[in-house]
């Protein structure tokens, strides 16, 4: 069987321990974290959970999970992982009513992320894995970033004394990897703000991290057109001629293997996917619809452009099923597995 360059089997073996954040405590994050520990024999690398121990114990009891907890420091987590879920306690309290997220829990949610980054910075964890968050209650508590990705960039600039950084969102699976140039904005705003420079910068970061973190020696990038049929020679809009094509030409001049603009409707079938390592897409749904169709349960959100490895499940908080015991941990399992391998490669 041929292994894709982006398949985790092609990466260096895992090492260390992972820092897993609680996510929104009212969503499915605590449940899938518990399920991943219960299925720990399938994981390449252990993890500790940054959370409120009493809340995690309440979740385990309500779901009937046989999952003993151990309140530990990061340095103690590996030693107990085989017999108990290591929980590194948060300073902020957690209320965590299933399916009813509110701003009360926002400080703990943000604390778990910030401390996870700090533990990687200090060498106490090899990578960060983040459980899903709900942005609206964070905004009500004063959070000023569009999401995880942008705040992680700010934390990296502060803690690593680097900057300015531009984090890039990669959605990864063994079958497809996609990167949106514009992310959490309306379609109208995405079209209005799309620039040649943004496409070039996104593609550069993607190519660099495919080399350094994924071990792809010569990354191949497929650059999607913005319009149907990539504009049909300008008859369906001139953006592909005036914005996207110049970006492709600049990337090629820099020695990056980039092709496009390609018609978006023919980029994602199996034969087309075999010809590139990542698709650079112009807006959110152009990237996320194909990967969620192909790998809904096993897709992983991976942040590029950071001085550390960070992954997340490719789904949200799922408040509608929180507390019912039916949440699928497959995407978090995949995120933990990929983070382990990226973290090991990054620290090599």
Assigned token pair, 38: 């219960």
Does 348 score more than 70 pLDDT? no
**What pLDDT was estimated at residue 185?**
86
Order the strands of the 85-89 sheet from edge to edge.
69-71, 85-89, 47-51, 18-21, 127-129, 310-313, 300-304, 168-172, 177-180, 278-281, 220-224, 257-262
pLDDT tens for 98-139 read 988 888 999 999 999 999 999 999 999 999 999 999 888 888
pLDDT, position 30? 96
Confidence category of residue 160, pLDDT binned at 50, 70, 90 = confident
Tracing tokens 């978006």 back to the chain, one arrives at: 264
Cα three-residue angle 85-91-96, rounded to 5 degrees:
65
Looking at the DSSP bridge assignments, the partners of residue 70 are 86
In tens, the pLDDT along 45-81 reads: 999 999 999 999 999 999 999 999 999 999 999 999 9
Arithmetic mean of pLDDT, 152-169: 85
Peptide bond into 164 cis (omega under 30): yes
Average pLDDT over residues 142-164: 82
More confident residue, 343 or 220: 220
Q: What is the pTM of this model?
A: 0.88
> For 282-323, how does the pLDDT look when each residue is reduced to its tens digit (9 = 90+)?
999 999 999 999 998 889 999 999 999 999 998 899 999 999
Q: Which domains does the chain have, with CATH numbers?
A: 1-167+307-348 (3.40.718.10), 175-294 (3.40.718.10)
Q: Residue 8: is its pLDDT beyond 70? A: no
- Does 333 score more than 90 pLDDT? yes
pLDDT at 229 over 50: yes
Mean pLDDT of 220-233: 94
Please give the pLDDT value at position 12: 38
């Amino acid at each position: 069987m041929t292994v894709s360059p982006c398949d985790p089997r092609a990466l260096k073996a895992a090492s260390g321990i992972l820092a897993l954040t609680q996510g929104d405590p009212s969503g499915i994050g605590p449940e899938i974290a518990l399920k991943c520990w219960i299925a720990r024999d399938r994981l390449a690398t252990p993890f500790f959970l940054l959370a409120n121990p009493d809340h995690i114990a309440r979740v385990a009891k309500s779901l009937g999970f046989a999952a003993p907890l151990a309140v530990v420091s990061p340095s103690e987590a590996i030693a107990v992982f085989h017999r108990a879920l290591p929980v590194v306690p948060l300073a902020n309290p957690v209320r965590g009513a299933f399916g009813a997220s509110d701003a009360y829990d926002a400080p703990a949610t943000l604390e778990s992320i910030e401390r996870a980054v700090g533990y990687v910075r200090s060498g106490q964890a090899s990578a960060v894995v983040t459980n899903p968050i709900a942005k609206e209650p964070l905004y009500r508590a004063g959070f000023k970033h569009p999401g995880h990705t942008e705040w992680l960039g700010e934390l990296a600039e502060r803690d690593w004394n680097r900057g300015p950084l531009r984090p890039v969102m990669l959605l990864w699976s063994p079958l497809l990897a996609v990167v949106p140039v514009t992310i959490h904005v309306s379609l109208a705003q995405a079209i209005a703000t799309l620039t040649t420079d943004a496409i070039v910068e996104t593609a550069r970061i993607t190519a660099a991290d495919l080399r350094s973190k994924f071990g792809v020696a010569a990354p191949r990038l497929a650059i999607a057109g913005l319009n149907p049929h990539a504009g049909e020679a300008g008859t369906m809009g001139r953006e592909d001629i005036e914005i996207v094509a110049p970006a492709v030409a600049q990337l090629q001049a820099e020695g990056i293997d980039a092709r496009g603009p390609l018609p978006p409707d023919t980029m994602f079938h199996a034969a087309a996917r075999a010809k590139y390592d990542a698709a650079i897409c112009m807006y959110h749904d152009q990237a996320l619809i194909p990967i969620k169709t192909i790998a809904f349960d096993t897709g992983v959100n991976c942040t590029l452009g950071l001085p550390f490895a960070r992954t997340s499940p490719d789904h949200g908080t799922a408040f509608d099923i929180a507390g019912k015991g039916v949440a699928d941990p497959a995407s978090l399992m995949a995120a933990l597995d990929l983070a382990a391998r990226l973290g090991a490669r990054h620290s090599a």
